[in-house]
């Protein structure tokens, strides 16, 4: 299901117009290590928003990476997750990222997470990435702030 705030669009100057067809998925089984834990203390024995966000990032990268050109790379620039329902340890979850807009080098994916096979939606959101040549991203990373 596509997020209402992320309708499939592309600007005229899009760098990678075929990326608009990108879909990436991550299938996981919730483990005890993925529960809501803060400062080493388990808070809830359910799939944490932290792990959900991580899996959303992986799914979004999988959605766009097949469309990279030889020297392309990408950096995440935003993530919004609305955690709607809980998934217990042992639940099978599919996180899907669907490219829904491309504006120049900026790509947005709609995020949808569901328990399978029931299809119950546990989260929705968006994830943003900026595509850059690998050497440009490497140069920016070498100048990252340390203080």
DSSP reduced 3-state for 30: coil
Contacts of 122 (CB under 8 A, 6+ apart): 47, 52, 83, 84, 85, 86, 87, 93, 113, 114, 115
What CATH code is carried by the domain that includes residue 77? Answer: 3.10.129.10
Predicted pLDDT of residue 3: 46
Number of domains in the chain: 1
Contact 23, 99 (CB under 8 A): yes
Does 17 fall in a domain? Answer: yes
Q: Is the pLDDT of residue 2 over 60?
A: no
Predicted pLDDT of residue 8: 66
Does 147 fall in a domain? Answer: no
Per DSSP, helices labelled H in the chain are 49-64, 134-142
Least confident window among 2-6, 7-11, 131-135:
2-6
Claim: this prediction has a pTM higher than 0.75: yes
Does 67 fall in a domain? Answer: yes
Q: What's the average model confidence in pLDDT over 92-108? A: 94
Q: In this structure, what DSSP letter does residue 143 have?
A: T
Q: What's the average model confidence in pLDDT over 78-107? A: 96
Q: What's the average model confidence in pLDDT over 131-147? A: 91
Q: pLDDT > 70: what percent of the chain?
A: 89
The whole-angstrom separation of Cα 8 and Cα 79 is 18
Bond preceding residue 27 cis, omega within 30 of 0? no
In whole numbers, what is the pLDDT of the chain averaged over residues? 91
Does 124 fall in a domain? Answer: yes
Q: In this structure, what DSSP letter does residue 85 have?
A: S
Does 3 fall in a domain? Answer: no
Does 51 fall in a domain? Answer: yes
Q: In this structure, what DSSP letter does residue 6 have?
A: -
Predicted pLDDT of residue 20: 86
Does 4 fall in a domain? Answer: no
| pLDDT tens sequence across 8-67 | 666 655 566 788 889 999 999 999 999 999 999 999 999 999 999 999 999 999 999 999
Q: Which domain holds residue 108?
A: 9-142
Does 2 fall in a domain? Answer: no
The residue with tokens 């020297």 is: 71
């Amino acid at each position: 299901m596509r997020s209402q705030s992320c309708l499939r669009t592309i600007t005229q100057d899009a760098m990678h117009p075929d990326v608009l067809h990108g879909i990436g998925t991550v299938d996981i089984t919730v483990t005890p290590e993925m529960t809501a834990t803060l400062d080493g203390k388990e808070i809830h024995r359910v799939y944490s928003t932290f792990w959900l966000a991580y899996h959303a990032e992986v799914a979004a990268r999988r959605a766009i990476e097949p469309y990279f050109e030889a020297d392309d790379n990408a950096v995440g620039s935003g993530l919004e997750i609305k955690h709607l329902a809980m998934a217990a340890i042992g639940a099978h979850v599919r996180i899907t990222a669907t490219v829904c807009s491309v504006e120049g080098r900026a790509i947005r994916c709609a995020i949808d997470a569901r328990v399978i096979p029931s299809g119950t939606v546990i989260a929705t959101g968006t994830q943003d990435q900026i595509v850059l040549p690998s050497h440009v991203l490497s140069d920016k990373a070498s100048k990252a702030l340390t203080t």
